[in-house]
């Protein structure tokens, strides 16, 4: 049981570590306009509200994201989520599976972060492996070991996906984990939890949540030309990268930010 919980927890942490530096270190390069700030806040707040409600990013892609947003990252080798794949196997992974990977990665990270955010200060300071998951989820992992048997800890210098078989094993396992977490939150709504509200308030202040800033492409980036204005804004647990298309700000990427 302990090994399986460790495997799942380690994978989630590994997923975060792979991409945490992709966008989180970006700095403002010029002044953002008041109009851009207002539009970015509206998009960010609406998206954050809907994600908390749905707890499934796949339900929000059509409305909020750039069409075929993952294709933009195929034009930038360092971009997420392709940074998780060993370069020579990217062409062997279908676009459908790349999208599945993105969805399950964001969902698993977000749902696990939600669960941890309901902990008290004392609990957060003294967390054991079992504390990363609801008791119901831990029991199912224990009684159905095959669900996460394929997931094992990886060294930090290893790609998350070394070959297509890795993805075939990892995707179903994480998708089942996400399903279990979604079921937990249906029975245990977090929105009115006092610890959650307190921790989110602290997190929002620390991460300057909903305060957009601007970055401009010095060279072509993510398939966009030099000079493209990219707006970044933090929301609870995620950092959004926004770009204007057809006069509307759309999300190019949502990545972990804690």
Does residue 27 have a pLDDT over 60? Answer: no
Whether the CB-CB separation of 225 and 217 falls below 8 Å is answered with yes
Q: Which pLDDT tens digit goes with each residue over 11-22?
A: 555 555 544 444
pLDDT (0 to 100) of residue 35: 95
Whether the CB-CB separation of 53 and 186 falls below 8 Å is answered with no
Please name the helix (run of DSSP H) or strand (run of DSSP E) that holds residue 15, with its range, or none: helix 2-23
User: In which band, very low, low, confident or very high, does the pLDDT at 95 lie, cut at 50, 70 and 90?
Assistant: confident
Q: Which of 234, 238, 241, 236 is nearest to 215 (CA)?
A: 241
Count of domains forming the chain: 1
User: In which band, very low, low, confident or very high, does the pLDDT at 2 lie, cut at 50, 70 and 90?
Assistant: low
Domain range enclosing 168: 2-256
Q: Which pLDDT tens digit goes with each residue over 141-198?
A: 666 554 454 344 455 566 667 777 777 777 887 888 899 999 999 999 999 899 999 9
């Amino acid at each position: 049981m302990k090994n399986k919980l460790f495997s799942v927890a380690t994978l989630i942490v590994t997923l975060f570590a792979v991409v945490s530096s992709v966008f989180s270190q970006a700095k403002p390069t010029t002044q953002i306009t008041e109009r851009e700030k207002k539009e970015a806040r509206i998009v960010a707040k609406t998206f954050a509200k809907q994600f908390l409600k749905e707890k499934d990013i796949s339900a929000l892609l059509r409305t909020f994201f750039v069409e075929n947003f993952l294709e933009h990252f195929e034009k930038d080798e360092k971009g997420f989520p392709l940074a998780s794949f060993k370069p020579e196997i990217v062409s062997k992974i279908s676009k459908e599976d790349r999208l599945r990977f993105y969805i399950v990665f964001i969902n698993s990270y977000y749902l696990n972060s939600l669960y941890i955010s309901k902990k008290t200060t004392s609990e957060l300071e003294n967390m054991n492996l079992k504390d990363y998951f609801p008791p119901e989820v831990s029991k199912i992992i224990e009684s159905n070991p095959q669900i996460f048997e394929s997931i094992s800890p990886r060294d930090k210098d290893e790609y998350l996906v070394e070959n297509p078989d890795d993805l075939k094993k990892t995707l179903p396992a994480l998708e089942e984990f996400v399903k279990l977490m979604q079921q937990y939150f249906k029975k245990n709504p977090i929105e009115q939890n006092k610890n959650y509200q307190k921790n989110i308030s602290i997190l929002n202040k620390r991460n300057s949540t909903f305060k957009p800033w601007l970055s401009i492409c010095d060279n072509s980036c993510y398939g966009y030309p030099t000079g493209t204005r990219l707006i970044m804004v933090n929301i609870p647990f995620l950092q959004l990268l926004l770009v204007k298309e057809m006069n509307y700000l759309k999300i190019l990427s949502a990545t972990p930010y804690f």
